[in-house]
Chain A
Amino acid sequence: MQKNILIIGATSAIACATARLYAACHHQFFLVGRNEEKIKLTKQDLLIRGAKKVESYCCDLTKMENHEKILHHAELSLGTLDIVIIAHGVLPDQQQCEKNIDFMVQSFEVNQISTLCLLTLISERLKTQGHGTVAVLSSVAGERGRKINYVYGAAKSAVSIFLQGLRNRFHGTGIHFLTIHPGFICTPMTENFKKGRLWKQPDEIAPDIVKAIAKKKDLLYTPWFWRYIMLIIKMIPEKFFKKMSI
């Protein structure tokens, strides 16, 4: 069955890889991103890969007044929203966050506030519609605060908790919320990291996301082994964890 898919942060590497899989099944898309040129390239690529229809809207997601407009245009273009993927985000420089409050607040606006606002507006619309899936890219960094990225982690942690609340609120209504915890994935966001054996490509985890959406899962760790890595990390008592450098 043909689905209508809204992707917010559509030029993100993981969103692009996921969208390609949906495009091959001839679904319809509404893409939202900041960079017009990149959105244009993504749109063209999806159309060639089989998407039935792709429309887009370019805006800055930290300007909350844009959110209503996005949903308005998406509904005008697609009608109903079957799947919504929220994938935008930045990995702020932790050291800069520690010294510059404005910079830290700004990163929270991108990674947290904008997502929470969008989730609030989207969930109301899906309630009216009576069905739909919202998949949000959170992070394993949001599971436990660490000195190297706790600003990013705290923002993602709030997103995960917010989604838990929504899942609880909408239980039994046919509206489904998926929290995605990607592990180490090679994307522009992680470009400066030294890569090792645990690192995966966006197109390697995209099938997991598509499968989790189809199966209406609540929580997805991708690749799968991150569920167990995080299980161990979460079990370490704070007394010891605070002394560790991981």
Chain B
Amino acid sequence: MWQSKQHNAWGDPSKTDQESQPLWWQHDPLPQNSLMLPRGNARSYGDSCQNHSGVVIDTTYLNRFLDYDKDRGIIHCESGTLLKDILALVVKDNWFLPVVPGTQLITVGGAIANDIHGKNHPAKGSFGDHVLAFQLRQEGSDVIHCSSTENPDLFSATIGGLGLTGLITSATIQLKSIPSPWMAVETIPFNSLETVLELLQSSQQSHEYNVAWIDCLNQSATKLRGIFHRSNFVHSETKIPDRKNINIPCYFPRWVMNKFTIKNFNRIIYYKNKKNKPSQLPYHKFLFPLDNINHWNRIYGKPGLLQYQGVIPYDNGKTLLKELFHQIIQSQQASFLCVLKCFGEQKPKGLLSFPMSGFTLALDFPNRGKKTIDLLHCLYKITLEADGRIYPAKDSCLTPEMFQQGFSHIEQFSSHIHGNFTSDFWQRITGNSVSCKKTS
């Protein structure tokens, strides 16, 4: 028997006595006289989905479909609907969400509030680019309809707005058409940073989904090895098979994630994928590889994990990535999740949206306290000095100065924050609480 619902941030499984109030229907009353934060499936890694100064409004029960136009591929659903449920419904009509992250276990509201991106950013932009409209609830006001023509300022503040502008109750999303739920996946091993950067850029024309997995423990910064995956949806008549889930029933002891085990695990991933053989995979196997391991964050033990995800502009990108990898490899703290992707030129709709033109690198570190936070700060510094930015949804230890350096529209955004809405993240980066994530 295990707790069936995730109540903490994904990267921080430590117990919390935080109050959470479920919202069962769109018009149920919001908490009175209390600071609040709407939360979906709590898959943000850091404290952007926590609010210890008040109440967290659990939106996961707002998961009803309100309208589905099969001809035009437009879906209207409540904000707590999981992307998994939308895909299960629309895929059989050959529609698909234009942008999905590495997990389908997030809610629509969360996808908007973090303006999430996927492996196809150069082709499709971020999630907010496909949101036609949404309804927003603020305390003491009627439901506010927001779209690019109706309340456009609030619309762009809410996309990537970390749930601080109000509670999204429902959203209308434009889907994209696909030939079938199958994807043709090409797997290319590489042995240098130059090769993978070249692959990432040259594949954009021919393939919609591009991602590189990098082994940060077995090589030097000048000779990085890893596996590059590129993929497109293809036509197939075959029915997609059901997926069996594995459950991690308890937290692993801390020593499980040591240098030796991770190094060898990475070696296995590398050699297993090394055979360059094109294959056809059902969409969930390629796009959401970790979704069939319930509670995979428990592998990192009770201290949890910290993630670095930043974006670095293309100018001088190679040198900066080398510098980042140099720091990561030297630290020997990396784990098996290290992913490099490209962002396209398009400007996102949200004021605080993370994507900008450049390379984006994401990697998990087992939380080893100060040692890991120092490394993250070092990586943040390199990223920000190059005019890049850090992804708030994954962050646990940005300082107010660092946050301001990365996002230029903070002032404009702040004017849209609704009075009673706040989060631990926002309090931290506005300087109300400078405490970093617990140092195990």
Contact = CB atoms under 8 A, between A and B. Distances in A.
A74 to B, nearest CB: 23
A44 B89 contact: no
B14 to A, nearest CB: 17
A41 B64 contact: yes
Contacts, number: 42
A23 to B, nearest CB: 10
B248 to A, nearest CB: 16
A37 B27 CA distance: 10
A45 B4 contact: no
B15 interface: no
Contacts of A237: none
A44 B1 contact: no
A13 B64 CA distance: 12
Interface string A200-221: 1100100000000000000000
A145 to B, nearest CB: 26
A186 B67 CA distance: 26
B89 A48 contact: yes
A216 B275 CA distance: 51
A94 B67 CA distance: 41
Given A197-B2, A201-B4, A41 B22 contact: no
Contacts of B5: 186, 201
Contacts of B68: 48
A130 interface: no
A49 B25 CA distance: 18
B436 interface: no
B64 A45 contact: yes
A124 B395 CA distance: 62
A41 B25 contact: yes
B66 A197 contact: no
A48 B89 CA distance: 8
B65 interface: yes
A102 interface: no
B4 A42 contact: no
Contacts of B26: 41
A88 to B, nearest CB: 15
A38 interface: yes
B24 A44 contact: no
Interface string A12-29: 010000000000000000
Nearest to B1: A197
A188 interface: yes
Nearest to B27: A37
A165 B323 CA distance: 77
B22 A44 contact: no
Interface residues of A, number: 20
Contact of B65 (A38, A49, A201, A204): A49
A1 interface: no
Given A199-B4, A204-B4, A13 B24 contact: yes
Nearest to A198: B1
A170 interface: no
Interface size for chain B: under 10, 10 to 19, 20 to 34, or 35 or more residues? 10 to 19
B28 to A, nearest CB: 9
Contact of A188 (B24, B27, B64): B24
Contacts of A13: 24, 61
Interface string A174-209: 000000000000101001000011111100100000
B316 interface: no
Contacts of A198: 1
A200 B22 CA distance: 14
B66 A44 contact: yes
A42 to B, nearest CB: 7
A32 B61 CA distance: 20
Interface in B247-279: none
Contacts of A200: 4
Interface in B70-116: 89
A199 B2 CA distance: 9
Contacts of B24: 13, 188, 191
A188 B29 CA distance: 13
Contact of A197 (B3, B61, B64, B67): B3
B27 A44 contact: no
A191 B22 contact: yes
Interface in B9-33: 21-22, 24-27
B1 A38 contact: no
A45 B78 CA distance: 10
B182 to A, nearest CB: 22
A44 B76 CA distance: 11
A41 B25 CA distance: 9
Contacts of B21: 191
Contact of B64 (A44, A199, A201, A225): A44
A12 to B, nearest CB: 10
Nearest to B92: A50
Interface of A: 13, 37-38, 41-42, 44-45, 48-49, 186, 188, 191, 196-201, 204, 225
Given A13-B61, A44-B64, A48-B65, 17 more contacts: A37-B27, A38-B25, A41-B26, A41-B64, A44-B66, A45-B64, A45-B66, A48-B89, A49-B89, A191-B21, A191-B22, A196-B3, A197-B2, A198-B1, A199-B4, A200-B4, A225-B1
Closest 6 CB pairs of A and B: A48-B65, A45-B64, A48-B68, A188-B24, A45-B65, A41-B64
25 contacts: A13-B24, A13-B61, A41-B26, A41-B64, A41-B66, A42-B64, A44-B64, A44-B66, A44-B67, A45-B64, A45-B65, A48-B66, A48-B68, A48-B89, A49-B65, A49-B89, A186-B5, A188-B24, A191-B21, A191-B24, A197-B1, A197-B2, A200-B4, A201-B4, A225-B1
